[in-house]
Amino acid sequence: DFFDFGPHAVDGVKFDAMFDRGSLVAIDPSMRDKYLEVMTKVVAPGARILLCAMERQSATDLEATKKGPPFSISEAMVREMYGALDWVESIALLESEDTFVDNPDRKERYAGLDSLWEHIFVIQAKK
């Protein structure tokens, strides 16, 4: 269980690099603060996190944007969440792509959405 994970689980070792593909969108949004608490325990000074997140968008079906998983998280939300942590030095958006452009058949799976954006970030921890 990720939420039981911490330095004690790996003999106090902290990670210099992490690849997070979808954790924030896989868990219920009410668990995001607890997720960040765990990250704070296991991120080494100077570490980098490659973070992939999904954002659901719809001009007409607000309910479709709230369903999940994947639960929607915007670029602004990622910046707000990680920006509030004292160990974070920077948050860089590397790429944003509407996944429906290359995969229009995915629209059937995500009924009611106009777009499903994938945002790729690099989060740099302070040294």
Plot region of 36 (φ>0 → left; ψ -120 to 50 → alpha; else → beta): alpha
Predicted TM-score (pTM) of this structure:
0.88
Domains recognised in the chain with CATH numbers: 2-125 (3.40.50.150)
Q: What percent of the chain has pLDDT over 70?
A: 95
Between CA 118 and CA 51 the distance in angstroms is 10
Using CA of residue 37, residue 43, residue 45, residue 48, what is the dihedral sign? negative
Tally of helices (H runs) and strands (E runs) in the chain: 6, 4
Residue 58: phi and psi, rounded to 5, are -155, 130
Instruction: Give the pLDDT confidence of 36-52 residue by residue, as tens digits.
Output: 999 998 899 999 999 99
Which pLDDT score, from 0 to 100, does residue 106 have? 85
What is the DSSP code (8-state) at residue 112?
T
Using CA of residue 108, residue 112, residue 113, residue 114, what is the dihedral sign? positive
Instruction: Give the pLDDT confidence of 59-94 residue by residue, as tens digits.
Output: 888 888 888 778 999 999 999 999 999 999 999 999
